[in-house]
Copies of this chain bind each other. A is one copy, B any other.
Amino acid sequence: MSRLVEHHSHKAARILDSARELVADHGVRKVTVSEIAAAAGVGKGTVYLYWPTKEDLILGLFARELLSFLDELITRVTADPAVVLPRHLAPLLVRTGLRSPLARRLAAKDGELLRLLTEQAGDRDLFDRTQPSAMCQAVMPILREHGLLRQDRPLADQSYAMHAVLVGFGTTMSNPDSAPTRVGDPGEVLADTVALLLEPAVAPAEQAVTAAADGTVAVFRQTRDAVLDLIDRSQNLQQ
């Protein structure tokens, strides 16, 4: 039984789709519940059947984007454990992040969205866990433990560098005009950068890669569960 209201209600699904589109285009502050309802082809009261407040709707929206993000990561890593190799993981994280419209709005400093995400302690905790720094902190030790990272540098330095590289490439890839040169595929440059920086000279055994993939997926699943919990909290109780 799915915990997502849109899996049980077509109208709820349409409300979320409309909300996502409007908020991505105009930002939280500029979008009204009336507009969302109109775009979804439902009455305004219908929105309040599913979400207690506008704020809960927006939180639920952001949480679903995170869910998609995590599901993409989990799906890709489960299908091919080699995806956790830094050269594959870094471009995947950045590319998937860049395809998340609310995350991009957040990165571009949408004040109202940031305020919503950080005013409740529980929500802030989740928000913090989706930042590149938390991802690096959680995942890098696992990669290191299984030999996917070179062993001749301190892990703390490697985590810091990975974080800085993700931030730098994420920022530059989201604003190509700021880049000094045009490159074919920035994701490939990132892959190469991370490979040179972090990967060992000798490729790790397949078993080690698989073990690292399992560990990484476990972390992603934990975060995913926390996201589902937030979604539960933001919806009205289902009958």
Contact = CB atoms under 8 A, between A and B. Distances in A.
Interface of A: 109, 131-137, 140, 153-157, 159-169, 171-172, 178-183, 186, 188-190, 192-193, 196-197
Copies of this protein, total: 2
20 contacts: A131-B178, A134-B180, A136-B180, A137-B180, A140-B180, A156-B182, A159-B180, A159-B181, A161-B193, A162-B180, A164-B165, A164-B171, A164-B186, A164-B190, A165-B168, A165-B193, A167-B171, A167-B172, A168-B168, A197-B197
A172 B179 contact: no
A193 B154 CA distance: 13
Nearest to A183: B160
A160 B179 contact: yes
Contacts of A188: 157
B137 A189 contact: no
Q: Which of A157, A162, A192, A193 has the largest number of chain B CB atoms within 10 A?
A: A193
A160 B180 contact: yes
Contacts of A171: 164, 167-168, 171
Nearest to A162: B180
A181 B160 contact: yes
A140 B180 CA distance: 10
A87 to B, nearest CB: 13
A127 to B, nearest CB: 13
